[in-house]
Amino acid sequence: MKTRITVLCENTVGRVIGSGEHGFSAFIETDHDNSLFDTGNGHAIVSNSLALNKDLRTARRVFLSHGHGDHTGGLPEVLKLTGKVDVHAHPSIFLDRIAVRKVEGGEVRRFAGLVYKKTYLEFLGANFVLNQEFSEVQKGLFLTGEVPRCTSFEKNDPSLFVEIDGKLVQDTLMDDQSLVLDTGKGLILLLGCAHSGMINIVHHVVNKTGKQKFKAILGGTHLDFLTPEQLEESIKALKQMEIEKIGVSHCTGMKAASRLHQEFGNRFVYGCVGTVFDF
């Protein structure tokens, strides 16, 4: 299966084309049809898709990696173009998410969840297809569902909370799921924010598919938010795996991206807006 993945939304822009924003979205073209993975935070998805010549109206389905606003904020703009379309996600994407940042003498709270009502999104054309388990959406195209937390070194981001009955509790982001494409010559793993832990996700995908060879691991890794020890453990684990290319974006951050570049050399690519991955 021939596959092309184009980064539509990301924090940085590599060419003089499109806009950067804190968020992630990628357009996926295969021999069968087109899909959209995440929608960025809403400011750049339409203009970037036009600049990069990707017609959002041709997306046969939309995948939401998790409920955070920087991945779901562009959904209304996308739906206005696609009309009725399947939107694949975990049922917990609708939870109220709060990010808390410690500042001197206190804290700053920010609403970090999906800011649109489900009924509004349905009105615009979203047909939510909700899954919690690993599932095959189309031949060779899989969603990981909930990812078991197995590694000792991958921890929840302590700044992320969910509000339940007016109380903030630590957010375990069980809705975080990734997309897997089986090219026949290796797997492509597309991460949203990898809140489940990048290594946990890889183990889960190997378990579920029975395949170990990765053509590429792409997307947000959340490595920027971790301790240096956690980053080094993740790199150590990645080096033991069969991975042809690492193309990170978004919440990977420059520090972690630089470390990955150091370790993986020309197998490493930074996936900024406009980066095209051909398989």
Q: Name the E strands within 38-84.
A: 59-63
CB of residue 123 vs Fe ion: minimum separation in angstroms?
25
- Comparing CB distances to Fe ion, the nearer of 161 and 279 is 161
Of residues 59 and 112, the one with the C-beta less far from Fe ion: 112
> How near is the Cβ of 196 to Fe ion at its closest, in Å?
11
3-class DSSP state for residue 189? strand
Report the 10 Å Cβ neighbour count for 276: 12
Q: At closest approach, how far in Å is the CB of 116 from Fe ion?
A: 16
- Hey, which residues does 110 pair with through a beta bridge? 99
Examine residue 193 and tell whether it contacts Fe ion (CB under 5 A): yes
Residues 64/91, Cβ–Cβ less than 8 Å: no
Which part of the chain contacts Fe ion (CB under 5 A), choosing from 90-98, 127-135, 190-198, 206-214?
190-198
One of 29, 70, 77, 182 touching Fe ion (CB under 5 A): 70
Is the CB of 21 or the CB of 29 nearer to Fe ion? 21
Distance CA 31, CA 72 (A): 26
Q: Which is nearer to Fe ion, 23 or 76 (CB)?
A: 23
- x/- map, 242-261, Fe ion, by CB under 5 A: ---------x----------
Tell me, by CB under 5 A, how many residues bind Fe ion.
4
User: Applying CB under 5 A, which part among 68-76, 83-91, 224-232, 264-272 lies near Fe ion?
Assistant: 68-76
What is the number of alpha carbons within 13 Å of residue 46 lying toward its C-beta? 13
Rounded CA gap, 228 and 248, in Å? 18
68 binds Fe ion (CB under 5 A): yes
Nearer to Fe ion, 77 or 182 (CB): 77
Q: Are strands 187-191 and 213-220 parallel, antiparallel or unpaired?
A: parallel
CB-based contacts of 277: which residues, under 8 Å, 6+ apart? 4, 5, 6, 188, 216, 218, 245, 247, 269, 271
Residues that bind Fe ion (CB under 5 A): 68, 70, 193, 251
